[in-house]
A and B are shown apart, each in its own frame.
Chain A
Amino acid sequence: MSDFDKSRKNNGVSRRALLAGGVALSASLFAPKVLRAQDYPTAEVNTTGLAVTDDTVTIGILHSVTGTMAISETGSVQAEKLAIEQINAQGGILGRKIEYIQEDGASDWPTFAEKAKKLLVNDKVASVMGCWTSASRKAVLPVFEQYNGFLYYPTFYEGLEESPNVIYTGQEATQQIIAGLDWVNKEKGAKSFYLLGSDYIWPRTSNKIARKHIENFLTDCKVVGEEYYPLGHTQFNSVINKIRLKKPDVIYAIVVGGSNVAFYKQLKAAGIDMTKESPLLLTISVTEDEIRGIGGENIEGAYACMKYFQSLDNDNNREFVAAFKEMWGDDMVIGDVTQAAYLGPWLWKAAVEKAGSFDVDKVRAASPGIELTSAPEGYVKVHENHHLWSKTRVGRAQADGQYEVVFETADLVEPNPFPEGYQ
């Protein structure tokens, strides 16, 4: 905390200095303690041959900008570049400007592994911001562990993983699921749930946790249906009829990708008006990004359980949204994962400065306990298990494509990638 307290005192001065420089960024938020490179000789901060010079440090950005996943990963790339630019405007890390090498995973998992190896072995990057799907993360994991790289992974995911070479800046499954189910049960009196998902590991693991929680931890609640559809499925009329027949209180939907758009459009066309909340729809797979494709009018009234919404009402977030739009255009929307991706470079900066070194082993040792008071989602902290403590929130989709936040947990939720009693 002491670093941040100090930085708070410096607020006024640094903000003016930065604004004078014509740089609009969240100066009040991120510790503008300027460290000078000469106080940190390169030979000392880099004993393992990373790409660190007297005035630069190179990191990697590894996402898909082509192929089917480009639709989702573009926002993460944009957020990471924004964070890097802001950090550089404040003087960089240990007095060194961040330079990045961007590689394209091309939505292809072996390509991810190959590019990860290239970044670590040829380019000797000090850390990597990257990956989006679990499949791509699983593909690069052996590479990062073999060459001792350090990855910041932004997506909410199914958990069941804890690598010494990865910091998970998104939520693992329990952080995203349990608080939302509790809320819908308590506030909306929901008793029966219909679980629906695309057919791959994340929806299946998440629904497994949801089912355990509904059946074992909520009183008198039951699951009346559980179903999976192949990725890319575009016809949901049959399942909508089944839902009508079972009359659940809640449709719990984890549909992803192009199927998402088809599902919500067909739900609306079938006369299920989500604003009436019978049944109520709760999802963990639709962020503001996806709503752009679905159309706000087609999903109005649905609830989503995330840790971040663009509409969050706090100073950090207002500045973040403004800076993001200034850099990437006014029509941009920011989803949960985009915000988590934005945390990556900042968490790495904090860890490097705490360690006083770019060496991966020292950064890893310094990571647990790192705090950001400046995150758009609010205060976050790195757990021993490399995931983040963060709040869970429920938002209600509006016709303009934004969420209205209707609930947030009082405290930070502890990350628990290997939940007992849920497997």
Chain B
Amino acid sequence: MFADYSWSELTAIFAMQGFAGLILFSVFVLMALGLAIIFGQMGVINMAHGEFMILGAYVTYLVSIFFAEALPALFPAYFFIAMILAFIAAGALGMFVEWAMIRHLYKRPLDTLLATWGLSLILQQVYRSVFGAREVGVTIPDWMMGSLPLTDMIEIPINGIFVMVLAIGISVGVYVMMYRSRWGQQVRAINQNRVMAGAVGINTEWTDRMTYGIGCGIAGVAGSAFTMIGSTGPTAGQLYIVDTFLVVVFGGAASLLGTIASAFTISQAQSIMEFFLSGSMAKVLTLLVVIGILMLRPQGLFALKLRK
């Protein structure tokens, strides 16, 4: 397959392919972090995760229109404001949903699956009614499109770098909150024993609400970032949900490190196989490998050590 190419061409392609894998990794991390927090720390299976992402995308769309109309001079920078607003909007909706629906279902975790699936259908129809059934086009500032030529042959997409930086930033932020803050300690305490945590004076209700809100907020930021690489439409959230669950389950539900390791494994496997095989075949093989490993290690790559 490579006989006809010179060394420099091959090096360039492999370098770019390496970046493609890293970009896919960052995308997976962004998609999965929010879900991992909610699923891992609260045991709630949030089927509406994709719709929270799309809420972030629609917020970005609205902000882009506002800046284009009212503040065209600041248009190149609108994306940062859009991401902050996306976090707030998705987080606020998440907290409301937790208050209205999820908290009544903590004792019946499987029912959260049905309830949040219903929520995802409701949200899709709301988007369709408000924004129309068609996809909306989000105009990305010029500086974020295009590519960065490293050498004559190696070109790196700028939006890919942006997604990578964002993924690293959010991962570090989540790590600090989870393992270095009082709130994180409380979340983990509730996760281990809800009744006991309540008994020692932790406000479990408020902590749950915050956790769910932050998980959804991160989904909103991810959705906002994905307007650069994907579509924004009422059902676009469905495009991400399968991969997201795959990453979280494969990584081991309760472990953030596991989520990152699993995102890395799956993205690299998929990106390398896509290069050598056809796209559909790569997907099939990736899924087969994941199923195989989960049969051997049902708890996922990383799991908390629990006393049984």
Contact = CB atoms under 8 A, between A and B. Distances in A.
B136 A293 contact: yes
22 contacts: A71-B133, A227-B278, A230-B280, A233-B279, A234-B239, A235-B24, A235-B270, A237-B23, A245-B9, A258-B236, A258-B239, A259-B239, A261-B231, A269-B160, A269-B228, A270-B147, A270-B155, A271-B157, A291-B137, A292-B134, A293-B134, A293-B137
Q: Which 4 residue pairs across A and B have the least CB separation, nearest first?
A: A293-B135, A261-B231, A271-B147, A237-B20
Contacts of B136: 292-293
A228 B280 contact: yes
Contacts of A239: 274, 279
B233 interface: yes
A229 B13 contact: no
Given A241-B17, A258-B231, A261-B230, A268 B280 contact: no
B41 interface: no
Interface string A69-80: 011001000000
Contacts of B23: 235, 237
A67 B240 CA distance: 16
Contacts of B157: 237, 266, 269-271
Nearest to A261: B231
Contacts of A230: 279-280, 283
Contacts of A408: none
A281 B41 CA distance: 47
Interface in B142-158: 145-147, 149, 155, 157-158
Contacts of A242: 275
B242 to A, nearest CB: 8
B13 A67 contact: no
Nearest to A240: B20
A241 B230 contact: no
A258 B20 contact: no
A289 interface: yes
B136 to A, nearest CB: 7
B159 interface: yes
A89 interface: no
A229 B229 contact: no
A271 B139 contact: no
B13 A241 contact: yes
A382 interface: no
A325 interface: no
Interface of B: 5, 9, 13, 16-17, 19-20, 23-24, 27, 125, 128, 132-140, 145-147, 149, 155, 157-160, 226, 228-236, 238-240, 270-271, 274-275, 278-280, 283
A interface SS class: helix
A66 interface: yes
A229 B228 contact: no
A65 B136 CA distance: 17
A269 B229 contact: yes
Given A245-B13, A261-B135, A294-B137, A234 B149 contact: no
A238 B275 CA distance: 6
B225 to A, nearest CB: 12
B279 A228 contact: yes
A232 B283 CA distance: 12
A271 B233 contact: no
Contacts of B9: 245
Contacts of A227: 278-279
Given A70-B128, A241-B13, A271 B155 contact: yes
Given A258-B233, A293-B233, 12 more contacts: A71-B133, A228-B279, A232-B238, A232-B239, A258-B239, A269-B145, A269-B147, A270-B147, A270-B157, A271-B155, A289-B134, A295-B138
A294 B230 CA distance: 9
A293 B133 contact: no
Contact of A229 (B128, B140, B279): B279
Contacts of A240: 20
Contacts of A163: none
B159 A229 contact: no
A297 interface: yes
Contact of A269 (B134, B139, B158): B158
Interface in A194-235: 199, 226-230, 232-235
A295 B64 CA distance: 13
A397 to B, nearest CB: 13
Contacts of A266: 157, 229
Given A245-B9, A258-B233, A237 B271 contact: yes
Contact of B16 (A67, A226, A241, A269): A241
A262 B145 CA distance: 13
A278 to B, nearest CB: 14
Contact of A70 (B17, B133, B138): B133
